[in-house]
């Protein structure tokens, strides 16, 4: 069957009454649960999973997929409005989304988020249709050396997120790597840095850390402040929520670049939306004419990571369906659901069950359209959250955060982790350290260590294997070029400052 016949087959499934109903239910429930602070796609799918047990496999997957990207979008709403990251990839959006909200442009940020998510989802879906098997073959070629080099590239890019203070950012990456060591060593089974606390055997809660670093410090900093940037009730009109022509010009290319980056990383097992979001943000900041705008409300800092994350959500189905290898914990949960329904993903899955595969793929288009239709008219409602008095809003935020963090693993220890990282986040805020590189170091650290040790075992302790494999060597060359450019930029910037000082003295 050619691609058009496959698309027609998929549309027949996705546009059926059952397909439309379960896609709508998934997107709606995902967005609703994703809006709650601390509840990202993983928690949303886990909570709503029992709803799929009495549904046919095709429609169960369509519904779960809708929950996945619906929750991913819902998490962005609280990131932008309240500076609360429900998951790691949301932490990238709030770097510029929340400053836009404080400038009275929350509606514009949410509108761009919806459009960027739609664009990224559509690009990811098209690539899923056209290059599912070729990209799966590319992913198969990745050995431990390639994964290690790729993770290292991501960490170097994270250190460069704070372009004005790369050494501080590097310190944050190292701290994240150290925190990633907490838990059971997969190779030896030894508990590391757990201090005898069984709740830490699986490592530190990523949700608790993300919310603690990015959400609660803002609550602590703003609790005693009365002068906050808020939209006046009369200014919340559809016209005020629409991006300007200048906004569209600044956001269009970043959306496309983010979609491409997200599609690539989503297709690689073990990376996904977190790495894609951070990498797309780093790329935009590196190529920007004025990098100092980032972190202060740059619309590119919202558009590119959002497109990258949603594209990664779509293409993360490639290794799961084509290889049977889940790319992230959410896909591992999806894989479990498929097995419950007697679906066995693998190299023959697409050819063996075309109706299920193409029905799922075409539902992505319908689901992303539903997301835009559902959420764009509701932007004004979301923005009005900023009008709630802080004395009412802050206790509600803290209560929802604690409930959300506890509900992920039902462990009281996660609440202590939340409090500890809230205090750390507040201290970093006062000292002007960037918390984003710490989070990426924490996410990629365990995978970096695992692939390094695996590569050493495979190569018999020979470090040269990282340079003799072409893909690994290409990633390492990219790292060297980024470092060289950073050093050059710092030296050039230092000379410019010296010349300016000399001119003032003269």
Residue 344 has pLDDT above 60, yes or no: yes
Q: What is the mean pLDDT of residues 407-429?
A: 83
Residue 318 has pLDDT above 60, yes or no: yes
Give the pLDDT of residue 390.
66
Residue 417 has pLDDT above 70, yes or no: yes
Give the pLDDT of residue 464.
87
Question: Can you point out the beta strands (E) in 355-487?
Answer: none
Residue 265 has pLDDT above 70, yes or no: yes
Residue 475 has pLDDT above 60, yes or no: yes
Check if the beta carbon of residue 108 is closer than 8 Å to that of residue 241. Answer: yes
pLDDT in tens, 117-129: 888 888 877 777 7
Question: CA-to-CA distance for 57 and 156, rounded, in angstroms?
Answer: 41
Question: CA-to-CA distance for 472 and 180, rounded, in angstroms?
Answer: 23
Among 22-36, 40-54, 85-99, 444-458, the range scoring the smallest mean pLDDT is: 40-54
Instruction: Between 488 and 233, name the one with better pLDDT.
Output: 488
Q: Is 0.75 surpassed by the pTM of this model?
A: no
pLDDT in tens, 19-49: 899 889 888 888 877 776 655 666 667 666 6
Burial 337-375 (b: 16+ CB within 10 A, else e): bbeebebebeeebbeebeebbbbbbbbbbbbbebbbebb
Residue 230 has pLDDT above 60, yes or no: no
Q: What is the mean pLDDT of residues 311-321?
A: 77
Instruction: Between 132 and 378, name the one with better pLDDT.
Output: 378
Read off the tokens for 383.
Answer: 């923005």
Residue 23: CB atoms within 10 A of its CB come to 26
Residue 360 has pLDDT above 70, yes or no: yes
Among 48-62, 95-109, 411-425, the range scoring the smallest mean pLDDT is: 48-62
Read off the tokens for 313.
Answer: 């959500």
Give the pLDDT of residue 56.
82
Give the pLDDT of residue 101.
82
Alpha carbon 171 to its chain centroid, in Å, reads: 22
Read off the tokens for 486.
Answer: 């950073």
Residue 198 has pLDDT above 70, yes or no: yes
Q: What is the mean pLDDT of residues 177-185?
A: 85
Give the pLDDT of residue 234.
43
pLDDT in tens, 63-77: 888 888 787 777 777
Q: What is the mean pLDDT of residues 466-485?
A: 85
Residue 426 has pLDDT above 80, yes or no: yes
Question: What average pLDDT does the chain have?
Answer: 76
Among 218-222, 449-453, 456-460, the range scoring the smallest mean pLDDT is: 218-222
The sign of the torsion formed by the CA atoms of 95, 96, 97, 100 equals positive
Read off the tokens for 177.
Answer: 């790597």
Exposed, middle or buried: residue 180 (CB in 10 Å: 0-12, 13-18, 19+)? buried
């Amino acid at each position: 069957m050619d691609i058009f016949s496959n698309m027609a087959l998929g549309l027949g499934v996705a546009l059926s009454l059952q397909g439309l109903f379960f896609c709508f239910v998934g997107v709606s429930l995902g967005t609703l649960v994703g809006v709650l602070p601390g509840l990202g796609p993983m928690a949303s799918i886990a909570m709503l999973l029992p709803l799929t047990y009495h549904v046919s496999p095709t429609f169960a997957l369509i519904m779960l997929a809708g929950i996945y990207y619906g929750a991913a979008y819902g998490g962005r709403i609280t990131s932008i409005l309240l500076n609360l990251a429900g998951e790691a990839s949301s932490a990238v959006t709030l770097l510029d989304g929340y400053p836009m909200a404080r400038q009275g442009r929350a509606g514009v940020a949410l509108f761009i988020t919806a459009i960027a998510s739609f664009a990224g989802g559509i690009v990811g879906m098209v690539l899923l249709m056209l290059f599912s098997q070729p990209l799966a073959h590319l992913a198969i070629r990745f050995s431990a050396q390639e994964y290690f080099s790729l993770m290292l590239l991501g960490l170097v890019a994270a250190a460069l997120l704070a372009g004005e203070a790369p050494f501080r950012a590097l310190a944050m990456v190292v701290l994240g790597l150290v925190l990633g060591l907490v838990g059971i060593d997969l190779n030896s089974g030894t508990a590391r840095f757990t201090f005898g606390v069984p709740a830490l055997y699986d490592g530190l809660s990523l949700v608790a850390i993300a919310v603690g670093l990015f959400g609660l410090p803002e609550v602590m900093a703003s609790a005693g402040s009365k002068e906050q940037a808020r939209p006046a009730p009369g200014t919340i009109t559809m016209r005020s929520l629409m991006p300007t022509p200048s906004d569209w010009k600044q956001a269009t290319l970043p959306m496309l670049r983010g979609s491409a980056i997200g599609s690539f990383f989503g297709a690689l097992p073990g990376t996904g939306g977190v790495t894609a979001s951070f990498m797309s943000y780093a790329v935009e900041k590196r190529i920007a004419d004025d990098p100092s705008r980032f972190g202060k409300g740059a619309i590119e800092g919202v558009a590119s990571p959002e497109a990258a994350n949603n594209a990664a959500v779509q293409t993360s189905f490639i290794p799961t369906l084509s290889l049977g290898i889940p790319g992230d914990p959410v896909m591992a949960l999806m894989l479990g659901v498929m097995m419950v329904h007697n679906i066995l993903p693998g190299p023959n899955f697409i050819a063996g069950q075309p109706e299920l595969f193409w029905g799922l793929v075409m539902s992505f288009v319908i689901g992303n359209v539903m997301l835009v239709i559902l959420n764009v008219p509701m932007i004004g409602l979301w923005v009005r959250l900023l009008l709630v008095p802080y004395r009412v809003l802050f206790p509600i935020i803290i209560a929802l955060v604690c409930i959300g963090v506890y509900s992920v693993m039902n462990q009281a220890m996660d609440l202590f982790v939340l409090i500890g990282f809230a205090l750390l986040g507040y201290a970093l805020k006062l000292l002007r350290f960037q918390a984003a590189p710490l989070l990426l170091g924490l996410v990629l650290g365990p995978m970096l260590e695992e692939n390094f040790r695996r590569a050493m075992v495979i190569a018999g302790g020979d470090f040269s294997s990282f340079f003799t494999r072409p893909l690994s060597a290409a990633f390492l060359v990219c790292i060297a070029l980024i470092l060289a450019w950073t050093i050059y930029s710092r030296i050039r910037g230092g000379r410019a400052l010296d010349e300016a000082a000399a001119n003032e003295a003269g």
